[in-house]
Structure 1
Amino acid sequence: ELRAAVCAKLKRDNGLDYEPADILVSVGAKHTLFNLVMALINPGDEVLVPSPYWVSYPEQVRLLGVVPVAVPTQEATGFDLDPARLAAAVTPRTKLIVLNSPNNPTGAVFTPGALAAVARLAVERDLWVVSDECYEALTFEGRHASIAALGPEVKARTIVVNTCSKAYAMTGWRIGYAAGPRTLIRAMTDVQSQVTSNPSSIAQWAAVEALTGPQDEVAKMAGEFDRRRRLIIDGLNALPGVRCVMPRGAFYAFPNVSGLFGRTWRKADGAVSLGSSLDATAFLLEEARVAVVPGRDFGSDAHVRLSYATSDALISEGLARMAAALATLR
């Protein structure tokens, strides 16, 4: 029933036709992604990962002796894909391109033109594509577009990965799924069968209801996040030494804090010159009591990540604390 529900969702929301045999349901999307790399890539292969990236992409492939190749995107473009840089990074060892749109940590939504260029690259160079679409429901400007919907040739080389965690706030239920070529899905199923077998039956039935039931609340949630993103981005851009592009999806802000580098933090045990995202993170935690994640872990030491998956009151309070702390820097 759940695999059939996934097929219906992919048809309804993405215009993609799959059969239940083309679907694998796993214990969260992270598990789905690991099943994929276990089944598809081998030691010595290379995987292209647009940067900034979710932290697990390079680490999962490193566990298998595979080389992750970070391909930078530009803040000036809203961290959109750079097809020319991706093409330049392809070598005879390249096996897979990882796409994540909407993106964690940047909130970028890759443009149709960039996706089309990457689709052509994958077909021409005989590459696989994994399209992590976990934040699909939180696309604020226009409709979400899946690279698998751009034509039968690229669909045959794409594994679409999604989850119930974000759209339905089911993080702890641990339901992720993949849709793709049947031979690869069978190989991924073989991997999973020797690890966890399947998610719990309770979580699977909950996912059936989420995917097939009314979707009105999902749209309401997205509208609320849309409003909160404007609140937090406006506030971040008002802070001295901080700038932040407007994310077009997900629920993260990824401000550039390099304008704070070189400033002096006067601690009780001595002065510290801020010089990295780790320094900025420690400063904000100790002086503002605001927790952010250093961008170094995501591939950019000039940034930190914040989440606006919280109330207006907490967002405003956090911004006020940050402003007060920044005023103490010399």
Structure 2
Amino acid sequence: MTDAPINPALAATFAPPVMAARRWLEGVTFPPERPLVNLSQAAPVDPPPAPLREAMGEAIGDPSAHIYGPVLGQPDLRAEIAARWSRAYGGEIEAAQVAVTSGCNQAFCAAIATLAQAGDNVIVPTPYYFNHAMWLHMMGIELRPLPCGDDLLPDPSRAAALMDDRTRAIVLVTPNNPTGKEYPDGVLDAFFELCQSGGLGLIVDETYRDFDSRSGAPHNLFACPDWQGTLIHLYSFSKVFRLTGHRIGALITGARRMAEVEKVLDTMTICPNQIGQRAALFGLQHLGDWVAGERAENLRRRKALEEVTDALEGWERLGSGAYFGYLRHPFDEPSDTLAQRLVLEQSLLILPGTMFVPEGDPFGGRTVRIAFANADADGLAEMGRRLAAL
């Protein structure tokens, strides 16, 4: 008998990196004096705050929370996002320009589906967020890498040199995953002008916006004339309200593209999670002070990470911010084998830079990502001791 076929584009896509790293732990016994320190995944492990859990519990009692809702999300949540984002960015966003999605990953998938088809290409700065790369590979869309170099900032002029008649979009993530880099508004402005003049989409993923160290709006793109035809903004409620398991994100774009987004979302999930949407709305309306406290704690941990890594002999911190630190290691071995050695010799799990660049890119072999959001100052100090001991 012959097996049913497997989509070759899917088969050629690399395995989920976080799951691959978790398999490094299988069969490993960690000594009691040196338990595992896991700094591999950028997701909060604590539950949502008590007031939010109580609100979610009340929502469970509402019969309407258990049936299909609108494909593009609940109107009250869409309106709240539009109003708050308009104030935050100094622009004008309408509720009809907002879609609620099943997590920010789905928002990205929907955005790409409206922009490109197999054979097209999308420009993505490297190091990249690996799920973005995976979706492009699955769709048969060429990921055209834009290396950032040691300053970890994408260069619009280098992006322009990569564009051709099959280029459909440029993707930016700020604050960045995996590097933590916060892109200056001038960089975003230049990319917006490039995309607008070239008829491309500019996807700006701001999953970690709430942990940006800067005050005020991170950019003014929503105040640009005709932003609706170029900008596609992505956001996640997973990190800010600890709702990772409830899969709530958002996508903001113009009306013409939103009609196509609705087709994608209806086909994928029909509607976003009803309880999660109510949680996101409650969080926006009632948890501002709590979010400010979470941001302050995150910035303290960022400072602790910087102090620890700057004291490591031979290591170089290239970037830090949001949930991440991005380091160049001093060893004469690729980062993927180094990361596995850290598990065995130091009970420390971090992700190698090879997971964030195309295969064969030497920059990935010399770098690692540390996801520090779930580690306090003591935990980060312990990480430093183990890196030094290696």
**Contact (CA 8 Å) 2:100, 2:248: kept in 1 or not?**
yes
Which one of 218, 237, 245 corresponds to residue 291 of structure 2? 218
**1:283 Cα deviation (Å)?**
1.6
String of CA shifts for 1:74-99, please: whole Å, max 9, x gaps: 22x2x122111111111111100001
What SS is found at the alignment partner of 1:254?
A: strand
- C-alpha separation between the residues in 1 aligned to 2:229 and 2:286? 29
Which residue identity is paired with 2:380? Answer: I
Which one of 175, 179, 190 corresponds to residue 102 of structure 1? 175
RMSD: 1.5
Which one of 290, 293, 301 corresponds to residue 351 of structure 2? 293
- C-alpha separation between the residues in 1 aligned to 2:318 and 2:292? 24
Which one of 235, 240, 245 corresponds to residue 308 of structure 2? 235
Identity of aligned residues (%): 28
Equivalence map 1:1-330=2 (5 Å)? 1-75=76-150, 77=151, 79-146=152-219, 148-149=221-222, 151-247=224-320, 249-257=321-329, 259-261=330-332, 275-299=333-357, 300-309=364-373, 310-324=375-389, 326=390
Which residue identity is paired with 1:293? Answer: L
**1:197 Cα deviation (Å)?**
0.8
> Could you say which structure has the greater relative contact order, defined with CA pairs below 8 angstroms and 6 or more residues apart?
2
* Ranges in structure 1 where 5+ consecutive residues have no aligned partner: 262-274
What SS is found at the alignment partner of 1:209?
A: helix
- C-alpha separation between the residues in 2 aligned to 1:49 and 1:217? 34
Which residue identity is paired with 1:230? Answer: K
**1:100 Cα deviation (Å)?**
0.5
**Contact (CA 8 Å) 2:115, 2:201: kept in 1 or not?**
no
String of CA shifts for 1:160-191, please: whole Å, max 9, x gaps: 11011122222122101101011211111111
- C-alpha separation between the residues in 1 aligned to 2:306 and 2:105? 28
**1:59 Cα deviation (Å)?**
1.4
- C-alpha separation between the residues in 2 aligned to 1:235 and 1:22? 43
What SS is found at the alignment partner of 1:245?
A: strand
**Contact (CA 8 Å) 1:87, 1:121: kept in 2 or not?**
yes
* Ranges in structure 2 where 5+ consecutive residues have no aligned partner: 1-75, 358-363
What SS is found at the alignment partner of 1:58?
A: helix
Q: TM-score, normalised by structure 2?
A: 0.76
**1:208 Cα deviation (Å)?**
0.7
- C-alpha separation between the residues in 2 aligned to 1:84 and 1:99? 15
What SS is found at the alignment partner of 1:211?
A: helix
